[in-house]
Amino acid sequence: MKAEKMTIAQFQRHISDRYEKVDRARGSARTFLWFIEEVGELATALGAQKKRKNKNLQEEFADVLAWLCTLANINGVDLARAVTEKYLGDKEPKGHK
């Protein structure tokens, strides 16, 4: 799916359509490790951003979002709904964001 603007729900569905069979077979624990690895790569890219223009920063943000969608998919979480219920309601969210 190519789109200039895509909703969270559309992107989560895209990740599901493309990767969910393999992701489910890998399971939550191993998938979480991949997610954390991508978070680490984002942290490295953010650190490099302070020193010089880092072309990889945008890619690392995308990777983290994709792996978050993967975790949500294999755990039955609709991210768009979760975000809407927690952050877009009439009441402020409880706890830290």
Q: What is the CATH number of the domain that holds 66?
A: 1.10.287.1080
Q: For residue 78, give its domain range.
A: 28-87
Domain contains 37 = yes
- Global pTM reads 0.86
**Own/partner pairs, 82-87, CB within 8 angstroms, 24+ separation:** 83/8
Domain contains 46 = yes
Domain contains 58 = yes
Structurally, the chain folds into a number of domains equal to 1
Domain contains 78 = yes
pLDDT digits (tens, 9 = 90+) for 38-95: 999 999 988 877 666 667 888 999 999 999 999 999 999 999 999 999 989 877 777 6
Question: How many angstroms from the chain centroid is the CA of residue 42?
Answer: 12
Domain contains 3 = no
pLDDT digits (tens, 9 = 90+) for 8-34: 999 999 999 999 999 999 999 999 999
Nearest-angstrom CA–CA distance, 66 and 51: 26
Identify the burial level of 51 via C-beta atoms within 10 angstroms of its C-beta, where 0-12 means exposed, 13-18 middle and 19 or more buried: exposed
Q: Which two tokens stand for residue 53?
A: 């223009």
Cβ(11)–Cβ(69) under 8 Å?
A: yes
Domain contains 8 = no
Domain contains 35 = yes
Q: Which residues contact 37 (CB under 8 A, 6 or more apart)?
A: none
